[in-house]
Structure 1
Amino acid sequence: MQDWKDKYTSYLHKQQASSPQPASGSQLTGNLKTDIQELLARLGENGDLVVRDFQLFGTHQAAMIFFSSLVNTEQVREHVLKPLMARPSEHPGMPDQAAGMTHYIWSTVVQVTQGTTTADLSRLPPAAVKGDLILLIDGVPEALHLDMRQIEMRGVEQPQTEQVIRGPREGYVEKLENNLSLLRYRLQSTDFRIEISPLGTRTQSRVALCYIDSLADSALVAEAMRRISMIHTDGILDAGYIEQFIEDQPLSPFPQVQSTERPDKTVAALLEGRVAILVDGSPFALIVPALFNQFFQTMDDYTERFIMGSLIRIIRLIALACSLFFPALYVSVISFNPELLPTDFAVAISGGRAGVPFPAVVEVLIMEVSMEVLREATIRLPQMIGGALSIVGVLVIGQAAVGAGLASPITVVIVALTTIGSFATPAYNAAIALRMLRFPLIILSGMFGLYGGMIGTILILNHLLFLESFGVPYMSPFIPGKWRDLKDTLVRAPLWWMRRRPSFLHTQDSDRLPRSVPSRAIDQILRQGDEKNE
């Protein structure tokens, strides 16, 4: 084996070559040596590329070409190489001529579930880099490539970004087949459709489009396919790449595509008539269309009883409003309208701010920026160190800032409540959008008081009303409002009351529950009437 110095010298010689050798025709010639040389020239020199010559059934020269980093060598030895090197007496039906050898091997010898034959040489390199084993036989102008791909992946674990109190503990992994099996496990329907196609000129990442054929609007499925087909890039490394290409308004801070690590959340979206997009190598699924209220809902809202789910959702929305508007309201009242506060409270605040040299808006901005830096540092550090840093930052730095006169105690309390409120937002990308918009609201409130805060709020609401996600208004079902769709917004109605799917998705079947079956409330009324009649 060459050392790195020899490899470096060889690489320089190749780079300094005057002109590359022209590629031969795209069809296999049937000459084993020529076909191997042409295939290796197209694949290039790779340390994990294996060329295994052997005697096929003791009568024909053959060779296997594969990447050892993508193929399970034990399965190759047991299910491919060992049967192909058997004696001719073990295969009485073996053809005498080499012409029908590939068909005989595929139908009788190898124990592989997926494979195909081809005479086109240009199709073999892409198959090899995807994990296929290429089988070439001397005298046969046709190759057999077998799907032997096996990549080591981490096991199915609990999602780190979407933990629940009550519900499944399974999350997506990086392997597409495992993720699709998790969906199939929960959605055992013949109407469940999965469209898989490669994307990315260099990575050739497999992208899966999932939907329920009898539920999803055909226009929505066609639009999702059209947007994915319009992506022309050299690499797709994560589902986030596709999200940035298919969203309606890339300059908006609000996410218009929902991402999730949970298979149960994906299945729930599919049952509503939405479309899911998964990428091989990414533990996240994309759900479209995505609306504003989706980013503040969790699976706990549905696995718990509706009273508890509604209460938790209301608390979450209150925390959302506090994280966005609380600092701006504090700055505007302190700087322009202190008469709105009770006298005792205003005196206490003014006493706490007596030694602070900055105006309220600068003080709040300094504390907010410091908190954002601390939050980012906590996320990027290892988990064991991150927890300790967050405690040190909150206790030590906050107390030191108050003691040094850089901030007042009430400002520290306001910023702390704002940060805690932002943690209550389930979706990380939606929480970032609120954190971004908090700063312009603080600046407007520091410049114009309550009037500036109101102007900023109106601009945010107008922007939300302007947004769409795959043709669906972003603020649906609030605007336009429809009673049946409002049952799952600010509060979560009982499951037996939400009989129909959201109307804005234009599903082919709008009924969740059969109309002939009475709801729980109607059933109780009928029972009470029967008891009175008796």
Structure 2
Amino acid sequence: MEQKAAQNGKETITLRDDLQDSVTYLEKFLGQNEDIVFRHFRIFGNFSAFLCYFSEHANPSEINTDILKPLMYPPEHIEKNPPDISNLVEVMIKEVLYQSKVKTITDWEVLIEGLFQGDTIMLIDGVNSGLKIGTRKLKERSIDEPRTELVVLGPREGFIEQLGTNIGLLRYRLPTSDLVIKTMKIGKFTKTKVAVCYIKSVTDPELIKEVEDRLSKIEFDSVLDSGIIEQFIEDNPYSPFPQIQTTERPDRTVGNLIEGRVAILTQGSPFALILPTVFNQFYQTTEDYTNRFLMGNFIRMIRILALVFSLIFPSMYVSFIAFNPELLPTEFAVAVSGGRAGVPFPAVIEVLVIEVAMEILREATVRLPQQVGGALSIVGVLIIGQAAVEAGFASPVTVVVIAIATIGSFATPVYTAAFALRMLRFPILILAGTFGLYGVVIGAILIFNHMLSLKSFGVPYMSPVSPPDKEGMKDVVVRSPLWKMKSRPRFLQPQDIDRVGAKTQDLRDRRRVPGPFDDSN
């Protein structure tokens, strides 16, 4: 039977040198599964050995060519001078096996865990350890353009589900020894590999310690996506606002790492978690920085305007119609009243019904197959909206207001932030229907106060507005030219504060040099 040893207060099962005992234990533990391959053979014709792997998870061709063949038909110098049992494993690893990922393991739990991850395990009679050989084979989709963060000007690469590939995308963009990647496994059954990424010369050590501490305390059955990790480590789970940013863009992840943030990558998820997060990150895009700053600022201002529209435009409409029609121009007020003449509901009920119908339509569009979803959205917007107006169920102005608010939410580049605004639209709408403009103001104040109370890993959510940060304010509503953003945001407590070198600053500040076609020449 297998020996039991105490390691760090935990009892572990270790291998013995009796091959038959080990094979019996392994067969009993794995049970009857059709995809498990058991293979008995002899190493160099002298030593009994046993090979085990999952046929659909490992690479059989690699096992046959790089493991079995050189062990069953050894090199000439091994045949002339065969090793004995004491140095057999060393000779196999250093002189025979055509594999770079070979580890000697004495713990059954570690060995079987590698087996489930696609490795091949080898047991040898007379040796009280096993070999874990990296033969994992997993089909992965190709790197393509991110689905949720499209850009006109910018890179077209996005993360995929394979952690190794995603780490490679970061290494490709950050070819520096300062990039540190630490991995751990989370999940009782899934044992999901999670990578914590940061730049050691920039990121605050206290932030790194806090992130690793929170991750190490997660004890959960299964971690299938980065969103599950987000729910365990966020500061306020009851807030509608996300306190951790998700992105599937490597370039955006690298930009945040350089500012002093930490990225968390999860095996099986194409989304990286960026933390700490502040609110202004949710209306910024990659194009804000790849475009010239005038163009980028113009687009950002439109995006912020759309964000405000998506939150309070329906509420403002209800408050004007139901409580303060005198604030509207006379001709417009008359036109709106005429359009609502046959509507049997108060304005707030009318807007709520249309809003709920729009949310249902949006959800149905997402869940339907892609070939049908586009057609449904067109049918819902055009036909159902027109039918509701003609039937007297809603006024034309109400449909226009809801359409503008919906389009505004589509303009918000981060899905989780757009979803938060969609949820908050309903309580503000009810306040507007109850108290008019006072209700809208009260709702806005409550939301703003809530945002001021939030923190993300110790960083105030409304930074750099509150508390104020001069350097951070250069990239809030509008972005300053890159050469004027001299320092990293101070609210992240970076170790290296400087972002723009002296030569670049001198290049932008010096006088214009006369060109070859100037008259002065």
Which of 56, 61, 69 is the matching residue for 2:56? 69
Report the CA distance between 1:118 and its aligned residue: 2.3
Matched, 1:386 2:360: no
Q: Secondary structure at the match of 2:483?
A: coil
Unaligned runs of 5+ in 2: 5-12
Q: Secondary structure at the match of 2:360?
A: helix
Report the CA distance between 1:223 and its aligned residue: 0.6
Corresponding residue of 2:191: 204
Report the CA distance between 1:493 and its aligned residue: 1.3
Stretch moving more, 305-314 or 376-385: 376-385
Number of residue equivalences: 510
Question: In 2, are the aligned partners of 1:39 and 1:121 still within 8 Å (CA)?
Answer: no
Aligned CA-pair RMSD: 1.9
Corresponding residue of 1:423: 410
Question: In 1, are the aligned partners of 2:469 and 2:489 still within 8 Å (CA)?
Answer: no
Stretch moving more, 375-384 or 325-334: 375-384
Question: In 1, are the aligned partners of 2:303 and 2:411 still within 8 Å (CA)?
Answer: yes
Matches within 5 A, 1:364-379: 364-379=351-366
Which of 301, 315, 322 is the matching residue for 1:314? 301
Question: In 2, are the aligned partners of 1:496 and 1:520 still within 8 Å (CA)?
Answer: no
Question: In 2, are the aligned partners of 1:30 and 1:142 still within 8 Å (CA)?
Answer: yes
Matched, 1:298 2:297: no
Q: Deviations over 1:60-96 (max 9, x none)?
A: 2211111112211111111111111105745247544
Matched, 1:229 2:247: no
TM-score (structure 2 length as normaliser): 0.95
CA distance in 2, matches of 1:363, 1:187: 53
Corresponding residue of 1:177: 164
Report the CA distance between 1:102 and its aligned residue: 1.1
CA distance in 1, matches of 2:440, 2:479: 31
Taking a change above 3 Å as real, the CA distance of residues 527 and 62 of structure 1, as seen in their structure-2 partners, is same
Query: Match for 1:208: what amino acid?
Result: A
Unaligned runs of 5+ in 1: 1-21
Q: Secondary structure at the match of 1:483?
A: coil
Matched, 1:266 2:247: no
Report the CA distance between 1:379 and its aligned residue: 1.0
Matched, 1:277 2:272: no
Corresponding residue of 1:255: 242
Q: Secondary structure at the match of 1:91?
A: helix
Corresponding residue of 2:123: 136
CA distance in 2, matches of 1:335, 1:88: 91
Taking a change above 3 Å as real, the CA distance of residues 164 and 517 of structure 1, as seen in their structure-2 partners, is closer
Report the CA distance between 1:520 and its aligned residue: 5.3
Q: Deviations over 1:413-447 (max 9, x none)?
A: 00011101110000000000000000000000000
Matched, 1:246 2:233: yes
Matches within 5 A, 1:436-455: 436-455=423-442
Q: Secondary structure at the match of 1:201?
A: coil
Corresponding residue of 1:330: 317
Corresponding residue of 1:193: 180
Report the CA distance between 1:525 and its aligned residue: 7.2
Which of 60, 72, 79 is the matching residue for 2:47? 60
CA distance in 1, matches of 2:493, 2:355: 43
Stretch moving more, 70-79 or 243-252: 70-79
Q: Secondary structure at the match of 2:344?
A: coil
Matched, 1:495 2:495: no
Report the CA distance between 1:219 and its aligned residue: 0.5
Q: Deviations over 1:197-250 (max 9, x none)?
A: 111111110000000010000001001001101111111100001000000000
CA distance in 2, matches of 1:138, 1:440: 70
Question: In 2, are the aligned partners of 1:102 and 1:143 still within 8 Å (CA)?
Answer: no
Corresponding residue of 2:468: 481
Matches within 5 A, 1:87-98: 87=74, 89=76, 91-92=78-79, 95-98=82-85
Q: Deviations over 1:341-397 (max 9, x none)?
A: 111111100000000000000000000000011111111111121111111111100
Question: In 1, are the aligned partners of 2:366 and 2:373 still within 8 Å (CA)?
Answer: yes
Matched, 1:117 2:104: yes
Question: In 1, are the aligned partners of 2:83 and 2:91 still within 8 Å (CA)?
Answer: no
CA distance in 1, matches of 2:75, 2:278: 65
Report the CA distance between 1:400 and its aligned residue: 0.2
Which of 138, 163, 166 is the matching residue for 2:150? 163
Q: Secondary structure at the match of 1:282?
A: coil
Corresponding residue of 1:458: 445
Corresponding residue of 2:72: 85
Corresponding residue of 1:12: none
Corresponding residue of 1:47: 34
Corresponding residue of 2:273: 286
